[in-house]
Amino acid sequence: MKNALLIIDAQFDFCNPNGSLFVPNAEKDMEKLKTLIINNVNKIDHICVTLDSHPVNDISHAYFWEDKQGNSP
């Protein structure tokens, strides 16, 4: 049997206290994840990591929702 580990959005901005979108206690989760990988390295066949990214013109950026004067719709 093959075992895969899927890690979702383990990015600096989410996981580091200095990140712009830090999630409280995420750095502790990363330590737990590290321990899990170390303790199971011989059992994990694949590790897949996702990355959340947004192009400059993505609606997730605040300016997308502002008019030329900086007002929200």
48-72: pLDDT as tens digits: 999 888 787 777 777 778 888 878 7
Q: In this structure, which amino acid lies at residue 45? A: D
pTM of the entire predicted model: 0.70
The string of pLDDT tens digits covering residues 23-45 is 999 999 999 999 999 999 999 99
Residue boundaries of the structural domains of the chain:
4-65
- CB-based contact 59:65 (threshold 8 Å): yes
20 versus 41: which is more confidently predicted? Answer: 41
The angle at the Cα of 23, spanning 50 to 5, to the nearest 5 degrees, equals 30
Q: What is the gyration radius of the CA atoms in the chain, in angstroms?
A: 18
| Entry field: residues in the chain | 73
Give the tokens for residue 51: 């990355």
